[in-house]
């Protein structure tokens, strides 16, 4: 069976990398390659009933591209993760190497997961994944990394591994462990000798159905993130000035132009009412999520300037089109809201509300960020920023004060309407990002 699977799905992967809406996909140039939809496997024999995620009897689980566990079934709980009762609350604690090392997993199981990492991450990036482990475990894993070969990325890998079989009272039995790579993460399943593998392969081939099923079952996770909210300035007036078909054309053009930029910087789409946009940026193994949000905002601003000029020429008007951007960071719970036919990633907490309020405060395409975000950047990253606030001098002229912050109430001083409108973030210190020296 393994040879059949290998022939079906071992073609090299080409195209874009991972664009998964996940806390560490790390959604997320991206850590995992874009995977073309595999050719369908032959239908399972019998009465035509198809396996579902709840019916998988073999150990099965899913990792994101930060190699954190996002879902596992009961069989994997016992055979792979040493009887873990539930997923830890925080993303750092869900790293697969921490879970395996804490349970003294077998060497071949550890080497298997290290091999998965080596197809995606460099040695320095892998070292980040080992942070928080005991020194002996981290050293051992890094040794496995140096000893493992770098395989050409494929849609599926498979290796033999001896694991306890719960159907045989925990007796050690040889399994074939399959790792299937998708944009959204890595699905892993272990099939023991003599078990039905055809139904499982059929399930793994039904990509969209499989991914939807797994993501609906993922548990909430407490994760660090940056939130970017960008709104079209004067959208009501612009809507009133354009015919309906042209207004929709404009909004769709903006979304089409910005989408690739957000993907490039690992932005994860979040639902937003109206014509603005909300994106989450989660920690990545190969880049800084805070810097990703800032660089992304800078490129979005430049792209919006091009769109504005094009529409000025087209309509022969003097309107300037601006996306006003607010960015902040925090640690919040990420989960899903589920409908009968879809699911939506949702972040709970004040972070997204603050970003939205800062975006509403911004004007003329400005990018405003919180002091907490700037303060958490590495010194070398912060040195690339040109940021500050504009103050009125004694002569009544604006003076730019670099590398400084101000509370929203101070910035709105003298404008009672604006001050009242943003009273909920009045004491929040923010700064304007004017430019960034270089892109990532």
Look-up of token digits 């975000």: 373
Query: In which domain, by residue range, is 198 found?
Result: 2-219
Yes or no: say if 190 and 80 are a contact pair by the CB < 8 Å rule. Answer: yes
**Between 172 and 7, the higher pLDDT residue:** 172
Q: Per-residue pLDDT tens for 142-167?
A: 999 999 876 655 667 888 888 877 66
Same domain, 173 and 317: no
Look-up of token digits 């498979």: 158
Domain count, the chain: 2
Which residue, of 192, 219, 246, is where some domain finishes?
219
Closest by Cα among 324, 223, 344 to 277: 324
Separation of alpha carbons 358 and 216, rounded Å: 31
- Pairing state between β 185-192 and 398-402: unpaired
Across the range 344-368, mean pLDDT stands at 91
Same domain, 268 and 139: no
Same domain, 180 and 235: no
Same domain, 44 and 163: yes
CATH number at residue 322: 3.30.70.1230
Yes or no: say if 131 and 97 are a contact pair by the CB < 8 Å rule. Answer: no
Q: How confident is the model at residue 196 (pLDDT cuts 50, 70, 90)?
A: low
Separation of alpha carbons 161 and 178, rounded Å: 10
Q: How many CB atoms lie within 10 A of CB 388?
A: 18
Same domain, 338 and 408: yes
Same domain, 255 and 352: yes
**Between 184 and 95, the higher pLDDT residue:** 95
**Between 222 and 36, the higher pLDDT residue:** 222
Which residue, of 219, 250, 280, is where some domain finishes?
219
Closest by Cα among 34, 28, 99 to 284: 28
Q: 384 is written with which tokens?
A: 């690339």
Yes or no: say if 192 and 282 are a contact pair by the CB < 8 Å rule. Answer: no
Across the range 373-395, mean pLDDT stands at 91
Q: How confident is the model at residue 387 (pLDDT cuts 50, 70, 90)?
A: very high
What does residue 340 show for φ and ψ, rounded to 5 degrees? -65, -30
Yes or no: say if 144 and 114 are a contact pair by the CB < 8 Å rule. Answer: yes
Separation of alpha carbons 368 and 366, rounded Å: 6
**pLDDT higher than threshold 50 for residue 40:** no
Same domain, 107 and 49: yes
Element (H, E) at 298: helix 289-315
Q: Per-residue pLDDT tens for 264-292?
A: 999 988 876 667 899 999 988 778 999 99
Same domain, 255 and 215: no
């Amino acid at each position: 069976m393994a040879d059949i699977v290998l022939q079906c799905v071992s073609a090299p992967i080409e195209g874009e990398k991972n664009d998964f809406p996940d806390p560490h996909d790390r959604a997320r140039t991206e850590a995992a390659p874009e995977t073309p939809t595999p050719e369908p496997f032959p239908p399972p024999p019998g009465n035509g009933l198809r396996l579902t995620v709840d019916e998988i009897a073999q150990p099965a689980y899913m990792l994101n591209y930060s190699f954190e566990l996002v879902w596992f079934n009961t069989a994997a709980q016992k055979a792979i993760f040493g009887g873990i009762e539930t997923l830890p609350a925080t993303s750092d604690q869900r790293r697969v190497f921490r879970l395996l090392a804490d349970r003294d997993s077998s060497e071949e199981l550890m080497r298997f997961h290290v091999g998965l990492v080596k197809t995606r991450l460099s040695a320095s990036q892998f070292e980040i994944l080992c942070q928080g482990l005991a020194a002996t475990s981290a050293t051992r894993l890094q040794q496995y990394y140096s000893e493992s070969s770098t395989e050409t990325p494929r849609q599926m890998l498979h290796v033999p591994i001896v694991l306890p079989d719960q159907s045989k009272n925990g007796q050690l039995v040889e399994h074939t462990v399959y790792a299937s790579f998708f944009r959204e993460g890595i699905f892993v399943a272990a099939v023991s000798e003599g078990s039905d593998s055809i139904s499982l392969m059929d399930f793994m081939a039904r990509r969209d159905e499989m991914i939807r099923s797994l993501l609906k079952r993922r548990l909430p996770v407490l994760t660090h993130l940056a939130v970017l909210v960008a709104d079209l300035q004067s959208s009501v007036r612009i809507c009133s000035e354009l015919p309906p078909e042209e207004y929709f054309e404009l909004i769709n053009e903006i979304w089409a132009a910005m989408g690739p930029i957000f993907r490039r910087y690992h932005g994860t789409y979040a639902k937003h009412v109206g014509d603005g946009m909300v994106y989450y940026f989660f920690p990545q193994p190969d880049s800084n999520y805070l810097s990703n949000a800032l660089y992304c905002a800078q490129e979005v601003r430049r792209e919006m300037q091009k769109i504005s000029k094009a529409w000025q020429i087209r309509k022969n008007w003097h309107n300037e089109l601006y996306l006003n951007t607010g960015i902040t960071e925090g640690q919040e719970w990420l989960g899903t809201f589920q409908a009968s036919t879809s699911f939506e990633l949702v972040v709970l907490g004040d972070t997204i509300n603050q970003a939205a309020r800062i975006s509403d405060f911004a004007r003329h395409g400005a990018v405003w960020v919180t002091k907490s975000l700037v303060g958490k950047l590495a010194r070398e990253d912060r040195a690339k920023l040109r940021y500050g606030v504009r103050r009125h001098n004694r002569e009544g002229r604006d003076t730019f004060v670099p590398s400084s912050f101000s509370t929203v109430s101070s910035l709105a001083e003298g404008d009672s309407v604006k001050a009242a409108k943003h009273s909920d973030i009045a004491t929040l210190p923010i700064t304007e990002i004017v430019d960034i020296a270089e892109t990532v």
